[in-house]
Amino acid sequence: MLIPMGFDHPIFSESLRLIEAALPEGALQGLSVPERDVLLRLIHSSGDLSLVSGVSFSPQACERGLRALSAQVPILTDTAMAAAAVAPMARRTFGNVVRSVLDWAPEQAPKGGTRAALGMQEALRSHPGAVVLIGSAPTALELLLEQVRSSQVAPPALVIGMPVGFVGVAESKAHLAASALPQIRLDGSRGGAGLVGAAVNALLRRAWLDQAASA
């Protein structure tokens, strides 16, 4: 697809070319265009070619994400850092509202809980059907799954579940995998604000390019 002049920085374009050349032959085979975009941007953002075998997409997850983002649904993140990573691309494309769930969180973490989990509960009620990014807090991911399972909130349009770390992380990702939610997931201990931001930025970029191509 022809990229509008000036949309991608030359360094980003060259990085993608080098990544594709470095990947094993056939590594991207079978991926849809948006899945490929997401995977390449994750590798670009992390410098880690091994992510090619660690990222999972539920059927039609990226396509659902594209439709939601182009319809300007809000984007919710579990940290201010992830929100900061996404806001520039959102402003440049569809103008989606980007907010951290910490905006709804109490000043102090409750005993035995986290601010992100409590904030997630209120954020999901305020923005039903949002695109949700979780790069740090497995507790927020578990809370989201529990709230959806008990029909207390509407299912998000897409969950990008990549909490980083070792405590509760693998378990929360396994629970996400077992759910029926549209999802992009990075299994294992890897993840982080930069990666969830990269994933949704790839989708915002693809949705914007698709819209430009059809205009």
Could you tell me the domains of the chain? 56-214 (3.40.50.10230)
Kindly list the distances between the CA atom of residue 191 and the CA atoms of 21, 51, 73, 82, 120, in Å, as whole numbers in the listed order: 24, 10, 24, 12, 18
Instruction: Assess contact for 66 and 90: CB atoms under 8 A.
Output: no
Instruction: Kindly state the average pLDDT of the residues 30-57.
Output: 96
SS3 102: helix
pLDDT band for position 168 (cuts 50, 70, 90): very high
What are the pLDDT digits (tens) for 95-135?
999 999 999 988 887 777 789 999 999 999 999 999 999 99
What are the pLDDT digits (tens) for 8-36?
889 999 999 999 999 999 999 999 999 99
The phi, psi pair for 100, rounded to 5°, reads: -85, 140
Question: So which residues are the catalytic ones?
Answer: 44
Tell me the two tokens of residue 150.
Answer: 């008990």
